Amino acid sequence: MSSWFRWEGKDLLLRLRVQPRARSDEWAGPYQDRIRVRITAPPVEGKANAHLIRFLAKQFGVNTGRVRLESGAGNRGKNLRILAPRRLPGELSELCQSAKAISVK
């Protein structure tokens, strides 16, 4: 199993490396033991975290209340929980399959 994600029941736990002030919001592939995400928001007054949560909610087909920042609010390294995601983004699905992950049903 990959070290950047794991399933805990129906919840998906992600270990992210976030790059703020990027040109676009996108998945950027593995980075050490995390998955890299680029977001356009600046890391000022919680804007990047709020933007990241909206981005992940859209990607996983859930409302923002089902995306929880568990640690790393002030760091680039963040741990998040997606409560019962409805889908996996195409880019992540490919990475998960290559890591022999269980897909969302």
Query: Would you kindly state where each structural domain of the chain is located, as residue ranges?
Result: 5-98
Question: With 70 as the cut, is the pLDDT of residue 99 above it?
Answer: no
CB of 82 closer than 8 Å to CB of 67 = yes
**pTM (2 d.p.):** 0.86
Assign residue 84 a region (left: φ > 0; alpha: ψ between -120 and 50; beta: otherwise).
left
Q: For 47-96, how does the pLDDT look when each residue is reduced to its tens digit (9 = 90+)?
A: 999 999 999 999 999 999 999 999 999 999 999 999 999 998 887 777 66
Burial letters 70-81, b for 16+ CB under 10 A, else e? eebeeebebebe
d(CA 26, CA 101): 21
CATH topology of domain 5-98: Conserved Hypothetical Protein Mth637; Chain: A; (3.30.1200)
